[in-house]
Structure 1
Amino acid sequence: MNFVKVFCAVVLAAASPAFAQEGNGPTEPVSHLAVENAEIPIAAFSTRSDFGTAMLSPKGTRFAFVHRSDGEAKVVLMDSDTLEPLHTIRTGEKYGFNWFRWAGEDRILMSIEATTSFFGMPIPISRLVVFDIPTQKATAIGFRKQGVEGDDVLYIDPYGRFIILSMSESLFEQPDVWRYPLDGSGEDGAVKVQKRDRLVDEWFADDQGTVRMGVGWTRGDSTIIHYRSAPGEDLRRVTKLKRDAEELDNWDILGIYAGSDTGYAMMKGADGRQVLREFDYATGEPGRLIHQQPGWDVDSVLFNDRKLVGIRYTDDERQTVWFDEEMAAHQKALEQALPGSRISIASRAGTERMLVMQYGASDPGALYVFTPAQRSLKMIAALRPEIDHTRMSEVRAIEYAARDGTPIRAYLTLPRGREAHDLPLVVLPHGGPYGIRDTLRYDDWPQLLASRGYAVLQPNFRGSGGYGEAFEELGDGQIGRRMQDDLDDAMDWAVAKGFVDPGRVCMVGASYGGYAALWGVIRNPERYRCAASFAGVTDFNAQIKYSGKYMERRYRKDFRRKVKGEGDAEIDLDDVSPASQIHRLTRPVLLVHGNEDTRVPFSQFKTMVEAAEKAGKTLETLELEDNHNLAKEESERAWLEALVAFLAQHNPPD
Structure 2
Amino acid sequence: MNANSNTLKIIFALAFWIGLSSYSVLVQAQTLPVEAFGKLPEKSTFILSPSGNRMAYRDTKGGKDIITVVDIAENEIVDAVNVSSVKPNSLYFVGDDRLIMLVTQNKKLPGFKGRHDISAAFSYDLETGKLFQLLTLGKGIYLGQSQIGRIVGISTDQKYAYMPAYGDANILNLYRVRLDKSATPRIHKRGSHGIIDYFMDGDEVIARERFDNKSNKHVIHSYITGEQVEIFKNETEIPNNSFVGLTPDKQHLVMTDMGESGRWEYYTLSLTDGTIEGPLFSKEDRDVELAMTDSERIVHGVQYSGFKPTYEFFDKKLNARIKGINQALPEFTSKIQSYTPDWKKIILHSFSAENSGSYIMYSNGGLSLVTAERPEITAQHVNEVIEYKYQARDGLTIPTLLTLPRNKEVKDLPAILLPHGGPESYDRIGFDFMAQYFAHKGYLVIQPQFRGSTGFGIQHRLKGRGQWGKTMQDDLTDAVKALAKDGKITAQNVCIVGGSYGGYAALAGATLTPDVYKCAISLNGVSDLDAMMKTERSNYGSNHWVVAYWDKVMANGNYKRNYLESVSPINYVSDIKIPVLLIHGEYDEIVPFKQSKNMYEEMKDEDKDVTFIELNNGDHFLSTAENRIKAMKAMSEFLEQHLSTN
Per the normalisation by structure 1, the TM-score is 0.88
CA distance in 1, matches of 2:457, 2:247: 27
- Pair 1:430–1:308, CA change in 2 (3 A): closer
Per the alignment, residue 8 of structure 1 pairs with none
Task: Give the secondary structure class of the aligned counterpart of 1:214.
Answer: strand
Give the alignment of 1:41-190 within 5 angstroms. 41-68=33-60, 74-93=66-85, 95=86, 97-114=88-105, 115-117=107-109, 118-142=111-135, 144-147=139-142, 148=145, 149-157=147-155, 159-170=157-168, 172-184=169-181, 186-187=183-184
CA deviation map 1:582-602 (0-9, x unaligned)? 111111111111212121121
Q: Specify whether residues 182 and 620 from structure 1 end up closer, same or farther in structure 2 by C-alpha distance, changes over 3 A only.
A: closer
Q: Greater CA deviation, 362-371 or 400-409?
A: 362-371
* 2:584 equivalent to 1:593: yes
Q: Deviation per CA, 1:441-466: give whole Å up to 9, x if none.
A: 22122222222222221111010011
Q: 1:423 Cα deviation (Å)? A: 1.5
- Go from structure 1 to structure 2 and tell me whether the alpha carbon gap of 1:516 and 1:16 turns closer, same or farther (over 3 Å shift): same
8 A contact 2:291–2:299 mirrored in 1: yes
Confirm whether residue 230 of structure 1 aligns to residue 224 of structure 2.
yes
Aligned match of 1:610: 601
- Name the residue aligned to 2:509: 520
Per the alignment, do residues 366 and 610 of structure 1 end up closer, same or farther by CA in structure 2, a change over 3 Å counting? same
By how many angstroms is 1:242 displaced?
A: 2.5
State how 1:28-427 maps to structure 2 within 5 Å.
28=21, 30-36=23-29, 38-68=30-60, 74-93=66-85, 95=86, 97-114=88-105, 115-117=107-109, 118-142=111-135, 144-147=139-142, 148=145, 149-157=147-155, 159-170=157-168, 172-184=169-181, 186-187=183-184, 192-197=187-192, 199-230=193-224, 233-244=226-237, 248-255=239-246, 260=251, 262-302=252-292, 309-349=300-340, 350-360=342-352, 363-372=355-364, 375-427=365-417
What letter corresponds to residue 193 of structure 1 in structure 2?
H
| Structure 2 residue matching 1:299: 3-state secondary structure | strand
Secondary structure of the 1:272 match is: coil
> Contact 1:574–1:581 at 8 Å: present in 2 too?
no
Change (3 A) 1:491 1:177: same
* Equivalent residue, structure 2, for 1:3: none
Write the distance in 2 (CA, Å) between the matches of 1:294 and 1:29: 45
CA distance in 1, matches of 2:375, 2:26: 12
Partner of residue 437, structure 1: 426
Q: Comparing 208-217 with 64-73, which one deviates more in the overlay?
A: 64-73
Report the Cα distance in structure 1 between the residues aligned to 2:384 and 2:16, rounded to whole angstroms. Answer: 32
Task: Give the aligned partner of residue 9 of structure 1.
Answer: none
Give the direction of change, closer, same or farther, for the CA distance of 1:48–1:123 in structure 2 (3 Å limit): closer
> Is the 8 Å Cα contact of residues 229 and 259 (structure 1) preserved in structure 2?
no
Q: Per the alignment, do residues 582 and 62 of structure 1 end up closer, same or farther by CA in structure 2, a change over 3 Å counting?
A: same
CA deviations 1:467-522 (Å, max 9, x no partner) are 12221111111101110000000011001111122221221111111221122122
SS of match in other structure, 2:533: helix
Quote the offset at 1:367 in angstroms.
0.9
- Do the aligned residues in 1 keep the contact of 2:518 with 2:643 (CA within 8 Å)? yes
- Of the structure 1 ranges 483-492 and 221-230, higher mean CA displacement relative to structure 2 is found in 221-230
Cα offset for 1:58?
0.8
Structure 1 120/88 Cα, relative in aligned 2: closer, same or farther at 3 Å?
same
Partners in 1 of 2:613 and 2:559 — Cα distance? 39
Residues 120 and 150 in structure 2, CA contact (< 8 A), matched pair in contact too: no
Letter in 2 for 1:295: D
CA distance in 2, matches of 1:568, 1:110: 41
Between the two proteins, the alignment pairs up a number of residues equal to: 630
Q: Following the alignment from structure 1 to structure 2, what is the Cα–Cα distance between the partners of residues 226 and 297?
A: 24
Amino acid aligned to 2:191: R
3-state SS, counterpart of residue 250 of structure 1:
coil
486 and 353 in structure 1: CA distance in 2 versus 1, 3 angstrom threshold = same
639-648 or 580-589, which moves further after superposition? 639-648
Counterpart contact for 1:426–1:455, Cα < 8 Å: yes
CA RMSD after TM alignment? 2.9
After TM superposition, the structure 1 stretch with the greater mean CA deviation from structure 2, 249-258 or 594-603, is 249-258
2:634 is aligned with 1:642: yes
Report the 3-state secondary structure (helix = DSSP H, G, I; strand = E; otherwise coil) of the residue aligned with 1:206.
strand
The corresponding residue for 1:557 is 548
Return 5+ residue gaps in structure 1 as ranges. 1-11
List runs of 5+ in structure 2 lacking aligned partners. none
Provide the secondary structure at the position in 2 that maps to 1:447: helix
How far is 1:221 from its partner?
Answer: 4.2
Question: How much does 1:404 deviate?
Answer: 1.0
Q: CA deviation at 1:299?
A: 1.4
Instruction: Give the deviation of 1:298 after TM superposition.
Output: 1.0
Closer, same or farther in 2 for the Cα pair 1:463/1:137, shift >3 Å?
A: same
1:145 counterpart letter in structure 2: G
Distance between the aligned counterparts of 2:286 and 2:628, measured in 1? 33
8 Å Cα contact 1:32/1:388 also seen in 2: no
When residues 452 and 184 of structure 1 are mapped into structure 2, their CA distance, relative to the original with a 3 A threshold, is: closer
Tell me, yes or no, if the aligned pair for 2:551 and 2:557 is still in contact at 8 Å.
Answer: no
Aligned equivalents of 1:30, 1:301: Cα separation in 2: 38
| Equivalent residue for 2:480, pick from 491, 503, 506 | 491
Identity of aligned residues (%): 26
User: Are the structure 2 counterparts of residues 646 and 126 from structure 1 closer, same or farther at C-alpha, using a change threshold of 3 Å?
Assistant: closer
Q: Relative to structure 1, is the Cα distance of residues 452 and 568 closer, same or farther in structure 2, using a 3 angstrom cutoff?
A: closer
Contact residue 171 and residue 191 of structure 2 kept, 8 A: yes
Q: Does the aligned pair in 1 maintain the 2:210–2:218 contact within 8 Å?
A: yes
Farther-moved stretch of structure 1 (375-384 vs 16-25): 16-25
- In structure 2, relative to structure 1, the CA distance for the partners of 1:303 and 1:510 (3 Å cut) is closer
CA distance in 1, matches of 2:350, 2:250: 39
- 8 Å Cα contact 1:361/1:442 also seen in 2: no
Change in Cα spacing, 1:206 to 1:527, as seen in structure 2 (3 Å) is: same
Is the Cα–Cα contact under 8 Å of residues 541 and 574 in structure 1 kept in the other structure? yes
Provide the C-alpha distance between the structure 1 equivalents of 2:356 and 2:479, rounded to a whole number of angstroms: 26
Query: For residue 5 of structure 1, what is the aligned residue in structure 2?
Result: none
1:191–1:523 Cα change, 3 Å: closer
What one-letter code is carried by the residue in structure 2 that aligns with 1:354?
Answer: I
Paired residues of 2:254 and 2:299 also in contact (CA < 8 A): no
What is the correspondence of 1:506-517 to structure 2 with a 5 Å cutoff?
506-517=495-506
Gap change, CA 1:361 and 1:317, over 3 Å in 2: farther
Residue deviations 1:40-92 (CA, integer Å, cap 9, x gap) = 32221112113322111111111122345798854322222233332233345
> Conserved in 2, the CA contact under 8 Å of 1:361 and 1:440?
no
Change (3 A) 1:439 1:127: closer
Q: Deviations over 1:502-554 (max 9, x none)?
A: 22122111111122112212222322111112111111111222234444712
- Separation in 2, partners of 1:225, 1:327: 34
**Contact conserved, 2:207 with 2:223, CA < 8 A, in 1?**
no
2:568 corresponds to: 577
| In 2, Cα distance between equivalents of 1:451 and 1:196 | 53
User: What SS does structure 2 have at the residue aligned with 1:330?
Assistant: helix
Quick one: structure 1 residues 98 and 643, their matched pair in 2 at CA, closer, same or farther if it must change by over 3 Å?
A: closer
Q: Structure 1 stretch 393-402 or stretch 71-80: which is displaced more?
A: 71-80
1:611 match: secondary structure: helix
Cα distance in 1 for partners of 2:433, 2:43 equals 16
Q: Kindly tell me: are residues 163 and 382 of structure 1, through their superposed partners in 2, closer, same or farther at Cα, counting changes over 3 Å?
A: same
User: 1:71-120: CA deviations, max 9, x gaps?
Assistant: 88543222222333322333453x46454322222111233444324542
What amino acid sits opposite 1:394 in the alignment? E
